[in-house]
Homo-oligomer: A and B are copies of this chain.
Amino acid sequence: MKIHNFSAGPGILPQEVLKQAADACINFDNLNLSLLEISHRSKNYEATIAEARQIVKELFEVGDEYEVFYLGGGASLQFAMVPYNLLRESGTAAYVNTGVWASKAIKEAKLIGNTSVIASSEDKKFSYIPKGYIIPTDADYLHITSNNTIYGTQIKEFPKCPIPLVCDMSSDIFSRTVNAKDFSLIYAGAQKNMGPAGSTMVMVKKDILGKTGRKMLSMLDYQVHIKGGSMYNTPPVFPIYVSLLTLRWLKKNGGIKWIEKINRQKADALYNEIDRNSMFVGTAAKEDRSDMNVCFLLNKPELEVDFDKLWKDAGISGIRGHRDVGGYRASLYNALPIESVNVLVETMQAFEKKFGS
């Protein structure tokens, strides 16, 4: 049975990428060796890392003022590494709090230095994106989260920022056009739009580094990883390779402009159905609705068992809401085909037909 994978992350990857990943487990680059058992210093893998770094810069259309590298530890490690590398001992970091992940980033920053939360949507359970806040010009950086998976909100217009702008793009990277040059640092755990779990991409403008005066632990120092060419130590070899395969797939098919259009169609189809269908209600503020994670509730929660049966019978997987908020969440990452959205929409229509008044 064909599975429609709406998992919030780790999320769906293109079928051809999965096939290529499987092949590399047996025979990588026709070396008669598995990618899982070759040196990261081998010529063929060095080419992988170089391409994986380069393709990010191509997709973001940035030049050599930026460096790209891959680390382990997920976005959660970046919550600590960002302030560790950018927040001066006497400085202040500014954060916008748009949910659990932003809150975790704030918690780590507070352990490192002065941290100011300049805007928050906690008052309404993070169901919207704060806007119109004043960015302190004397802060070392502003940290934002572009997309909030748990609540289904997404920043549609990034703030004009007079200080270095740092963005956690874990859940919507390469899903839409952004002006990457407006950001000084972008990071993203790979496991939603970019690859499997186990590697995190960091892209940083070099001129913001080396200013804190802090004695740095090597593995937490961005400059160490840049100097090491993203191989200061043995990198997560396979996860980075699968990220590269995913980025190649995106580039080959037309890049961000191509996927943005498809993502628009997918999100429109599902939100239109939620708004039309008498059985459902969306949870995020309409103007801040995420194109990646569509969160909704049943108008009659007592029908949950019935709805669950319908979507499971249709081969739909992974649409339970996050355990903190409940309800439903359909994640429409890049690799999710529009056919899967159509199946979900049809299932919602069948549900209304059967149980609607």
**Interface, chain A (partner B; CB < 8 A):** 1-3, 5, 7-13, 18-19, 21-23, 25-26, 31-34, 36-40, 71-77, 79-80, 104, 107-108, 111-112, 189, 191, 195-199, 215-220, 232-239, 242, 317-318, 335
Contact = CB atoms under 8 A, between A and B. Distances in A.
A7 B39 contact: yes
A218 B32 CA distance: 41
Contact of A38 (B7, B37, B74): B7
Contacts of A18: 25-26, 34, 36-37
A207 B158 CA distance: 47
Contacts of A73: 71-73, 77, 219
21 contacts: A3-B32, A3-B33, A5-B33, A7-B38, A7-B39, A13-B34, A18-B34, A19-B26, A21-B25, A22-B26, A33-B317, A37-B335, A71-B73, A72-B72, A76-B219, A111-B217, A191-B237, A197-B234, A197-B236, A198-B236, A198-B238
A80 B220 contact: yes
Contact of A215 (B71, B111, B198, B199): B111
Contacts of A79: 218-219
A126 to B, nearest CB: 19
A246 to B, nearest CB: 10
B32 A1 contact: yes
Given A18-B34, A25-B21, A74-B233, A39 B219 contact: no
A334 to B, nearest CB: 12
B197 A237 contact: yes
Contacts of A216: 111
A218 B36 CA distance: 30
Contacts of A72: 71-74, 77, 198, 236
Given A25-B25, A72-B236, A233-B74, A37 B218 contact: no
Given A18-B25, A108-B217, 14 more contacts: A1-B32, A7-B39, A10-B36, A13-B34, A18-B36, A71-B73, A72-B74, A77-B219, A79-B219, A80-B217, A80-B219, A198-B235, A198-B238, A236-B239
A48 to B, nearest CB: 12
